[in-house]
Structure 1
Amino acid sequence: MTEPKIETVLTSDLITLEEPPAEKEATIEFLLDRAVEAGRVTDRETALEALLAREAETTTGVGMGIGIPHAKTDAVSEPTVVFARSSTGVDFDAMDGEPATLLFMLLVPAEGGEEHLELLSSLSRALMHDDVRDRLHEAESKAAIEETITEAVA
């Protein structure tokens, strides 16, 4: 199975410039609603249960101001990444204690185990670079965010 292209997984309708809620669970719901509105989620409640169950297993706050809540679920029709950023940060229980200001939600179909890991790995590697995080913080449009992520993950 080949890794899905980031351009098909993160489209402009999955990027929001709106400020997410300050609380983790509300932020997860905020991100999930973007995927629902984009027609990527077939069952919001099932997707939310999968995300919260994954969150309960171990933190998805990876440090350096990044939160990547993610889940494999039958409630999503295709691999999907949603992006938002927070000016104040959301506590995702990151190891470094820093709140997450760059938020990525990753949803993949239940049978997409390999895709899930490859996508998560590619995204995580790209976000380790200071310049990528800086560009995401400074981007003033959805197009600039989409371009930054596409270049970084390609």
Structure 2
Amino acid sequence: MNIQDLLSASRVNFDLQATTKLEVIDELIDILDADGKLSDKEQYKIAVLHREKEFSTGIGMGIAIPHAKDSSVKEAALTLGISKKGIDYESLDETLAHILFLIAVPADSNDVHLKVLSFISRKLMHQEVRDRLMSAKTYEDVLDAFQ
């Protein structure tokens, strides 16, 4: 999988302003919506929050990967946000989330979101990748972190 097939420079925010889980979900969805990937921002938000009620997507190690499969998504896309302060994302290990990926896929996608989730999770298990993302200043730095 090639990360740049799903993540564009316009969907990366190196300085998230959110301080809560709900605010960061809104901030990431706003980025996705501004890039034209959603037909209905509110519908997608409901889908993401529904998924979060089932089980927090704060996977630990400073990472959260909220995601939803919904008909409001025009095409599969990723958004990346970095929070220097960290956000209480109800993570499994109770650490603050600093690296947040939002995965959006259309409802009629087969298992795209599972493949993307698996790819990102495997990469982020490595401390070096997390460190490189936290120090990234450009989209190219993000791509390099995943090489």
Same fold (TM over 0.5): yes
1:39-96 deviation digits (Å, cap 9, x = unpaired): 1111101100000110111000000000111000011111111001111111111111
**Which consecutive aligned stretches of 4+ in structure 1 deviate over 6 angstroms post-superposition?**
none
Report matched runs for 1:49-64 at 5 Å: 49-64=46-61
SS of corresponding position for 1:145: helix
Q: Secondary structure at the match of 2:111?
A: helix
Aligned match of 1:85 in 71, 82, 86?
82
Q: Using structure 1 for the length normalisation, give the TM-score.
A: 0.91
Equivalent position amino acid for 1:24 in 2:
K
Structure 1 match to 2:105: 108
1:92-149 residue CA offsets vs partner (Å, 9 max, x unmatched)? 1111110100011001011114111011001100000010000001112232123323
Amino acid aligned to 1:124: S
Counterpart position of 2:23: 26
Confirm or deny: 8 A CA contact 1:80 1:108 kept in the other structure.
Answer: yes
**Whole-Å separation in 1 of the counterparts to 2:71 and 2:90:** 27
Calculate the aligned-residue CA RMSD, in Å.
1.2
The answer to which of 112-121 and 62-71 deviates more is 112-121
How many residues were matched structurally?
Answer: 147
Which sections of structure 2, spanning at least 5 residues, go unmatched? none
List gaps (5 residues or longer) in structure 1. none
More displaced stretch, 100-109 vs 88-97: 88-97
* Identity among equivalent pairs (%): 35
